[in-house]
Chains A and B, each alone.
Chain A
Amino acid sequence: MNRLVTNLRVVRALGLRSIRQTFRRPQLMAPIIVFPTMLLAIQTGGAAGAVDLPGFPPVQSFLQFMLAGAMMQSLMLAGNSGGIALAVDIEMGFTDRLFAAPISRYTIVLGRLAGTGALGLLSALWFFAIGLVFGAEIEGGVPGALLAIFLVTMTAMAVGGIGAAIALRTGTASVVQGLFPLVLVVLFLSSAFFPVELMIEPARTIAEYNPFSFISEGVREPIIAGVDATDTAEALLAIAGIVGLGLLLSARALRHRLRVG
């Protein structure tokens, strides 16, 4: 019990550090919020005619459809950003200080995820605000919005686990940073930005099986139609899968890190 309490304290302390680090560096924050906002604007500005394509789901506007994609993008960037921050800690030697302390190794990762989760929550709130300001309606009302926010926050932490694993494995911030474009690619090969039915092969097939498609649908449905139990359950399962993958990769990466020093 004592050990659990100690670990929780460590997670809290490292989590607060992670959150403070993030919010004290505007250059870290801006891309997580600014870039997805920019892409949201560009895509709604450039591809708005898509709502006229046969087979496009009934939506109030392309913006309403795209809000979920923007949130997904933001949380993915938050996860990547958390990985970069951890890699910088490794490069600077800060993690050595943590490894040399009598704490559970997993608290190092979990503390980092707390900051990522906070960013996920912030991004969800931000895009709901953007959507409302520019006229998008949330069909699922307050419960729908809360569900979407919950899913976004959980996914941010799940993705953060993958980012942390990569940071631990490579120990190099530039490599983690280099994965930033890949993060977007994973999203493009999902239904984050377009209905799966209207995508072109092979992207369509990939998107049908991409866990981020299930999560995107889970976040989008409350916005464009209302809360749907099936979509929600599928999203939660997908998040659980990513969490599991992140834990596995993190465990292996931690062992590797301790082996190579």
Chain B
Amino acid sequence: MTVYVIVFILYFLFMIVTALASAKQVESMTDFTTGGHKMGLVLGVGTSLATWLSVASVMGVPGNLYSRGVAAVIGWVAGWFLATALMPLIAYKIRLPEMPTRTFPEFMRLRYEPFATTSSLQLLVAFIMLVGYFIFSYIQVQGFGIVFSTVTGIPYEYAVFFFLLILIFTCMGGFMSVAATDTVNAILIFIGVVMAAFTVLNLTGGFANIMSTINTTTAPTFEGGAPIDAGILGTPLGTFGFSALTSIFLSNSLGASVAPHWIARFMAPKNAKAAALQMTLTLFCLVGIFIPLVTIGLGAKTIIPSLPQGKTTDYLFPMVIMEYCHPLVGALALTAICAAAVSTANSMLLHCSTSLVYDIKRQFNKGVQTEEDNNKTTKQLRIVIFSMGVLSVLCAVRPFTLLAMGFTYVYGAFGAAFFWPVILGITWKRMNRAGAYASIIAGMIGFIYATATASTIPAFLVGAGLSLAACLIAVFATPAPALEAYESFFVLNISDSTRKVIHTIQKEIDETGTAH
């Protein structure tokens, strides 16, 4: 226990010092939201890796492998890997403009409503993001609480409140603070899960033994439950139905590939090539982390055939670590999970508050934003991040979903609403404002309805299918967009009129064209 506490304290001190140091470097609104569009490749890969390594992956994936079998490799691992594999092209197109946008809603506004004084599309997208990222951050707090309570013995309901102690400091730094701590977290997570996987391999006698157990076990997930069919954990569908697994795979692949936080990540690199390479290198680095996670999840079925009553599968990873790993290895691995939870929650809360302050409130501020206005906005962002953090903690006291599944629902909703507006927006000049509205509204309604009614057709297919149909009808029924709407994403040297439109949207010149 002492080793765990020492490692935890050292880690938290590191996070606090980094955040405070980074807070001094935050100079502008762009610095706070995207790090000033100047991120190098190493930091970009580190921060992208850590974004994937949240509690949903580090704790949720092993838990799902344990209860669902190798089918979870299709649903989550192959799903998220496919999302990352698709990202280089999207990243290139998003980072192509000479003056990149700062947030995802601002991207949607530039592409679809470049001349609007107040963009209702930017407001709609920001609102959807606000809800989605609140759920994401709430899930991270839940993961943090599970680990913290497992390590300290403090009941979960109280453990979640320790999250706020760290958030007070980490919300000071903005984007670069998140990026810097993310990179170290990724390294820490890698060391932790690799060492834990070796421990599992050692305990089980190797991967062949692990698969042998998976292919024959009848042990229920929880003690006292009904035995499962022998061999079901080794089948491609596992304990899922075809429709459910397809929807999970599509939500985690197509949905995640256009999730607004990833689009925002693509705006941060110093150029388009760095943006594309960042995601490809991340893809290959992830292999080194997911092989250990798969080993831990499947191997745990040999070590602990059934989990105690009263625990969810999300407790599996910390339980394996605490019971079977060397204390130092365990402390590293669990600190890594807490690191993932805090940094990802911080990142998600940053997206949440940026939506609220930058994309919603700032739109109603008339005229040009002065430096004083921007400083005020940055302060407001910090206050909102902390307030949303408090709200996340209060909600997390009573968890309502498993970690990985919660992520999948949000990715599915994002994908159903945003997949076509993003993909067609960067690849098809004819894509217009009416198409974007129709696509977002139809996709969101379709996905929520299919999920709520447990449709036999995969929920993501219902949402994305309706979204595409509504989009195409609306696009062909309405006029083509103006040049200023799409030029940045298709042409290297943009016209003066497009440049002026972007400056006006970012409130850097007034309506008369005067720069400030």
Q: Please indicate whether A and B come from the same complex rather than being unrelated chains.
A: no
**B interface residues, Cβ below 8 angstroms from A:** none
